[in-house]
Amino acid sequence: MAQQASDNTMLIDALFDIFRNHGYEGTTISLLSEVTGLQKSSLYHHFPAGKEDMLKAVVGYVSLQIHQNIIAPLLNTQSKPEKRFSNMIATIKAFYNDGRKNCLLNVLNLGEAKAEIKKLQNDDYCAWLDALTQLSIEVGISQQEATEWAERFLIVIEGALVIQRLTSNKQVFEKQMEYEQKQFHKFLNQ
Amino acid sequence: MAQQASDNTMLIDALFDIFRNHGYEGTTISLLSEVTGLQKSSLYHHFPAGKEDMLKAVVGYVSLQIHQNIIAPLLNTQSKPEKRFSNMIATIKAFYNDGRKNCLLNVLNLGEAKAEIKKLQNDDYCAWLDALTQLSIEVGISQQEATEWAERFLIVIEGALVIQRLTSNKQVFEKQMEYEQKQFHKFLNQ
DNA sequence: GTCTATACTAGGATAGAC
DNA sequence: GTCTATCCTAGTATAGAC
Cross-chain residue pair A125–B166, CB shorter than 8 Å: yes
Cross-chain residue pair B179–A152, CB shorter than 8 Å: yes
Mutate to test the interface with B, among A166, A169, A170, A173 (most CBs of B within 10 A): A166
Q: Which amino acid is at B153?
A: F
Domain containing A126 equals 57-188
Q: pLDDT band at A3, cuts 50/70/90? A: very low
Q: What are phi and psi of B52, to 5 degrees?
A: -65, -35
Distance between CA atoms of A82 and A77, rounded to whole angstroms? 11
- The protein residue nearest D11 (Cα–C1') is A28
In window 50-89 of A, residues with CB < 7 A from nucleic chain D are 50-52
Distance between CA atoms of B157 and B96, rounded to whole angstroms? 10
Residues A82-121: tens digit of each pLDDT: 999 999 999 999 999 999 999 999 999 988 889 999 999 9
Distances (CA, A) of B50 to A26, B11, B53, B63: 17, 15, 5, 20
Q: Mean pLDDT for chain A?
A: 95
Residues B2-49: tens digit of each pLDDT: 344 456 899 999 999 999 999 999 999 999 999 999 999 999 999 999
Of residues B182, B15, B169, B147, the one with CA closest to residue A154 = B169
> B36 CA to chain A: closest CA distance, Å?
20
Whole-number distance in Å between A34 CA and D15 C1': 22
Pick from B159, B168, B175: CB nearest A158: B159
Question: In sequence order, which residues have a C-beta less than 8 Å from that of residue B58 and are 6 or more positions away?
Answer: B12, B15, B16, B19, B104
In a domain, A108, yes or no: yes
Q: Name the residue in chain B with its Cα closest to that of A102.
A: B109
List the Cα angle B186/A162/B49 in 5-degree steps. 130
Q: pLDDT band at A2, cuts 50/70/90? A: very low
In a domain, A110, yes or no: yes
Distance between CA atoms of A85 and A184, rounded to whole angstroms? 8
Q: Name the residue in chain B with its Cα closest to that of A175.
A: B148
Of residues B184, B119, B60, B163, the one with CA closest to residue A129 = B163
Q: Which residues of A touch B104 (CB under 8 A)?
A: none
- The CATH number linked to B98 is 1.10.357.10
Of residues B48, B66, B50, B46, the one with CA closest to residue B5 = B46
Q: Which amino acid is at A46?
A: H
Q: Mean pLDDT for chain B?
A: 95
Q: Which nucleotides of C are covered by protein (CB under 7 A)?
A: 1-6, 10-16
pLDDT at A190: 78
Distance between CA atoms of B87 and A63, rounded to whole angstroms? 40
pLDDT at B112: 84
In window 50-69 of B, residues with CB < 7 A from nucleic chain C are 50-52
Task: Taking residues A57-67, report their average pLDDT.
Answer: 98
Domain count, chain A: 1
Contact (Cβ atoms closer than 8 angstroms) between residue A173 and residue A160: yes
Q: Which nucleotide is nearest to B44 (CA to C1')?
A: C13
Distance between CA atoms of A164 and A29, rounded to whole angstroms? 28
Task: Taking residues A43-54, report their average pLDDT.
Answer: 98
Residues B64-106: tens digit of each pLDDT: 999 999 999 999 999 999 999 999 999 999 999 999 999 999 9
The answer to whether B101 CB is within 7 Å of strand D is no
Whole-number distance in Å between A113 CA and D6 C1': 32
Annotate chain B with three-state secondary structure: CCCCHHHHHHHHHHHHHHHHHHHHHHCCHHHHHHHHCCCHHHHHHHCCCCHHHHHHHHHHHHHHHHHHHHHHHHHCCCCCHHHHHHHHHHHHHHHCHHHCCCCHHHHCCCCCCCHHHHHHHHHHHHHHHHHHHHHHHHCCCCHHHHHHHHHHHHHHHHHHHHHHHHHCCCCHHHHHHHHHHHHHHHHHCC
Annotate chain A with three-state secondary structure: CCCCHHHHHHHHHHHHHHHHHHHHHHCCHHHHHHHHCCCHHHHHHHCCCCHHHHHHHHHHHHHHHHHHHHHHHHHCCCCCHHHHHHHHHHHHHHHCHHHCCCCHHHHCCCCCCCHHHHHHHHHHHHHHHHHHHHHHHHCCCCHHHHHHHHHHHHHHHHHHHHHHHHHCCCCHHHHHHHHHHHHHHHHHCC
pLDDT of residue B52 exceeding 70, the answer is yes
